[in-house]
Copies of this chain bind each other. A is one copy, B any other.
Amino acid sequence: MAISKAPQAFPRQEYLRRLAEVKSEMSRRDVDALVVTSWANVTYLTGSLSRMHALHGLVITLRDEEPTMIVRSMDGPGVIHHSFMDRRKVIAYSEAFVANAEKNGFDAVIDFLLDAGVANRGVGLELGNLTAQAAEKFKTRLSNAKIVDCTKVVDWIRIVKSDLEIRVMREAAAIADTAIMRASDVIRPGVREGDAAAEIQAAQVRGAKGGPNATNLKPFLMCTTPRTGTAHILWSEDVFRDGSQVNIELSGIRYNYTAAIMRTFSIGAPSDRLRRTHDAHVAGLEAALDAAKPGRTCNDVANAFYRTSESMGVKKESRCGYSIGVDWLEPTASLANGDMTKLKPNMCFHLMLGNWIDEDFGYVISETIRITETGAEALTRAPRKLFEL
């Protein structure tokens, strides 16, 4: 029996709007058929929420209203269930293409392009995400096509969100806030770090009070003394202790839309150094929010932070954030010195002020923000404080 359609995150019209923008860019680049392989871009253009290891391709053509998704056979029903497209637009390829050195899922994508008769002119590929071997396969088997590199074409379109997407980002932010507040409840001296992590992770799945559950959770980061100088590791097998500092970076996820937040916790009174670092970061964060408005650039926002925090004695080497949306990090604009991307309403950024200052000392704070018509607002709303537990 046919699988039903899931309740959709967005109306059909929203997907057609996104696709129209992609098609317009395809026309500009003389591309008849675009093959999208980035998972975040597939989610953005179809609503699919599957997590698949197998090769796949979403084919957008100028002539067809709906795109076609080519996936491993066991993944067909999941894509039909979540995506907005007609079920005939999901093509399942045989298991014979899996773990096979000669033929793989990209052969199924190429077969589709050839059968559909769209392989004689421009074919766009996200070459930046493809292995050399995969790129070679497309070039060899599509010898009549002109291969056009379309890396990040869809990513640059999704950098500006619709109001419908912002609504979902707000739900994601509320989940992130809930998990941060849960952290402030469960981090206590003598508790195993992992036992607290279990509660925080459960809060991330359960979601905000009265709100929807989250799915497709990403592991969160929790770096406790003496590991606060590390950026991307998780909890240890230790217990929390009096005087420990805990740096947390976590996300709320809704239909794969992600809002991230960082907060620092101190068990007992924070050291003077930690307090000063916090004050400089909060001042910098507020300066960055003030600087963020349409017409200004990513560079302006980053430098507002750097100027302010440096005037208070704190230097940060890394960038101040990046575009955020489907699947956390969008590979487009950075809040960084020299990034001249112009801000537009409904861009969202993870204003990420994690600062790993010494090998054994770091501090984190961040908000997920939205550019408004006149400025910027934080979507994450947990108290902007150094939590003393």
Contacts and interface: CB of A to CB of B under 8 A. Distances in A.
Q: Which of A73, A132, A199 has the most CB of B within 10 A?
A: A132
A99 interface: yes
Interface in A65-105: 73-78, 80-82, 94-95, 98-99
A231 B73 CA distance: 10
Interface stretch (A49-57, A114-122, A265-273, A372-380): A49-57
A77 B359 contact: yes
Q: How many copies does the complex hold?
A: 2
27 contacts: A3-B227, A49-B234, A73-B318, A77-B230, A77-B231, A77-B360, A78-B227, A78-B231, A80-B359, A95-B317, A95-B319, A98-B318, A99-B319, A99-B322, A99-B339, A127-B133, A132-B136, A193-B213, A194-B205, A194-B206, A194-B215, A195-B206, A195-B213, A197-B205, A197-B213, A201-B201, A215-B219
A235 interface: yes
Contacts of A132: 127, 130-132, 135-136
Interface in A325-339: 329, 334, 336, 339
Contacts of A3: 226-227, 229-230, 359-360
Interface string A216-243: 1111010000110111111111000000
A6 interface: yes
Contacts of A229: 3, 77
Contacts of A77: 227, 229-231, 356, 359-360
**6 tightest Cβ-Cβ pairs between the two chains A and B:** A194-B213, A78-B230, A198-B205, A202-B202, A198-B202, A74-B231
Contacts of A202: 198-199, 201-202
A74 B77 CA distance: 41
Contacts of A231: 74-75, 77-78
Given A51-B219, A53-B329, A213 B198 contact: yes
A214 interface: yes
B133 A131 contact: no
Contact of A1 (B52, B237, B318, B358): B358
Interface of A: 1-4, 6-7, 49-53, 73-78, 80-82, 94-95, 98-99, 127-133, 135-136, 192-195, 197-199, 201-207, 212-219, 221, 226-227, 229-237, 317-319, 322, 329, 334, 336, 339, 354, 356, 358-361
B356 A74 contact: yes
Given A130-B131, A336-B99, A233 B81 contact: yes
Given A99-B334, A127-B132, A133-B128, A51 B356 contact: no
Nearest to A203: B198
Given A130-B131, A193-B213, A194-B206, 20 more contacts: A7-B237, A49-B233, A51-B221, A51-B232, A75-B230, A78-B231, A78-B232, A78-B233, A82-B233, A95-B317, A99-B319, A99-B322, A128-B133, A194-B212, A194-B215, A195-B213, A198-B202, A198-B203, A201-B201, A201-B205
A115 B141 CA distance: 40
A51 to B, nearest CB: 5
